[in-house]
């Protein structure tokens, strides 16, 4: 063992040296995994390979404790690139989740579901591609297309998985609730998170978040991130449909839907608020740049939306006004007008 790379409720990750192979690897010890004495998926994990998968070098049980040895990621994760409350540029978020979809599709082809898709588990390589990793919670699909509950992250957990977690907490057998559809939901939730800079659900504890997931849909992405084009929002909402049958039928169909989207020529991105503003966006199109900022002047109950050319600061039009409830809709109208 060389060093501790990370530690959380689901286990510990170490940088280790494999003396036989002469390679440095990442060793994850899954202390929180719900895995029995025989980990059937371990053999399948070592057979996984694909352009958008972090390569698994070994997996198994040591004294009944599951472990996974994988290629070490030296370029961080998509979570590291995300600014809280801001997210990442739309095209970059889409590219990374398309990569994750390809990785998930490869797993599904081999009869496995990932069960813990989220920005933190999309690892970046030297060329900026996202590799789907942290496969310790993967479980094997049965002949009917379902798999056992092994773990997961509540913020990107599908409603049917969250309901199964509540059954476990109540001491009831949840059966096999995991499926390709639950991974498709998590892909959409991951894209939501990257675009909004915040997870679809958030709470003081995992139990709080699980209860929210069961209780109803998250805040609409279009309200949280009004700069995201409607066609992208529609893909996210379809993948995160409450009923599995209403989602994309596969990870491949999800990635295809994203790949065929056309984005506006002006690229809008959320920016950290500045100069006393509450909400700031920047739209670039070639050498043209425009800023859209919302602020509440004085004691007014309305927010003023300023639209200016950059870097001159010259007004593109007189400021618009909106109440807080109207703000997402008014901002979307501005973004549509300045494509």
Decide: helix, strand or coil at residue 195: helix
Please check whether residues 120 and 255 belong to one and the same domain.
yes
Please check whether residues 246 and 97 belong to one and the same domain.
yes
Q: What pLDDT sits at residue 115?
A: 93
Q: What pLDDT sits at residue 114?
A: 94
31 within a domain of the structure (yes/no): no
Task: Print burial letters for 87-100: b (CB count within 10 Å at least 16), e (below 16).
Answer: bbbbebbbbbbbbb
CA-nearest of 306, 304, 337, 308 to 321 is 304
155 within a domain of the structure (yes/no): yes
What number of other Cβ atoms are within 10 A of residue 335's Cβ? 19
Q: What pLDDT sits at residue 34?
A: 60
CA-nearest of 82, 89, 86, 90 to 119 is 82
Collect the ranges in the chain with pLDDT lower than 70.
9, 32-39
Q: Which of 259, 283, 312 is the C-terminal boundary of a domain?
A: 259
84 within a domain of the structure (yes/no): yes
Please check whether residues 179 and 239 belong to one and the same domain.
yes
pTM for this entry: 0.91
Please check whether residues 106 and 180 belong to one and the same domain.
yes
Q: What pLDDT sits at residue 38?
A: 57
Q: Which of 259, 286, 312 is the C-terminal boundary of a domain?
A: 259
Q: What pLDDT sits at residue 63?
A: 82
Task: Print burial letters for 235-273: b (CB count within 10 Å at least 16), e (below 16).
Answer: bbbbbbbeebeebbebbbebbebbeeeeebebebbbbee
35 within a domain of the structure (yes/no): no
Please check whether residues 294 and 185 belong to one and the same domain.
no
Q: By residue range, what is the domain housing residue 188? A: 74-259
Q: How far apart are CA 303 and CA 323, in angstroms?
A: 6
DSSP assignment of 198-245 equals S-S---SSHHHHHHHHHH-PPSPHHHH-TTS-HHHHHHHHHHT-SSGG
Q: Structure tokens of 15? A: 């940088």
Please check whether residues 115 and 193 belong to one and the same domain.
yes
């Amino acid at each position: 063992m060389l060093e501790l790379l990370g530690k959380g409720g689901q286990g510990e990750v170490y940088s280790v040296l494999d003396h036989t192979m002469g390679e440095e690897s990442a060793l994850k010890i899954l202390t929180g995994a719900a895995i029995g004495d025989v980990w059937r998926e371990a053999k399948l994990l070592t057979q996984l390979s694909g352009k958008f998968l972090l390569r698994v070098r070994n997996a198994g049980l040591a004294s009944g404790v599951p472990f996974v040895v994988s290629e070490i990621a030296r370029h961080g994760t998509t979570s590291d690139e995300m600014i809280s409350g801001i997210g990442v540029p739309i095209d970059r978020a889409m590219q990374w989740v398309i990569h994750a979809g390809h990785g998930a599709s490869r797993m599904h082809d081999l009869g496995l579901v990932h069960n813990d898709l989220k920005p933190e588990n999309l690892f970046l390589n030297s060329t900026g591609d996202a590799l789907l990793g942290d496969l310790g919670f993967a479980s094997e699909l049965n002949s009917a297309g379902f798999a056992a509950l092994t773990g997961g992250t509540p913020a990107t957990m599908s409603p049917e998985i969250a309901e199964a977690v509540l059954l476990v907490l109540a001491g009831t057998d949840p059966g096999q609730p995991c499926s390709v559809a639950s991974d498709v939901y998590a892909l959409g939730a991951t894209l939501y998170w990257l675009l909004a800079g915040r997870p679809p659900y958030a709470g003081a504890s995992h139990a709080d978040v699980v209860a929210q997931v069961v209780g109803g849909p998250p805040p609409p992405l279009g309200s949280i991130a009004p700069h995201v084009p409607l066609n992208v929002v529609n893909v996210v909402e379809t993948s995160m449909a409450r009923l599995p049958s209403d989602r994309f039928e596969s990870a491949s169909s999800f990635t295809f839907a994203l790949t065929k989207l056309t984005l506006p020529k002006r690229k809008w991105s959320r920016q950290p608020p500045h100069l006393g503003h509450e909400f700031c966006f920047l739209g670039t199109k070639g050498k043209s740049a425009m800023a859209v900022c919302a602020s509440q002047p004085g004691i007014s109950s309305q927010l003023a939306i300023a639209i200016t050319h950059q870097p001159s600061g010259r007004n593109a039009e007189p400021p618009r006004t909106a109440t807080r409830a109207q703000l997402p809709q008014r901002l979307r109208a501005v973004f549509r007008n300045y494509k």
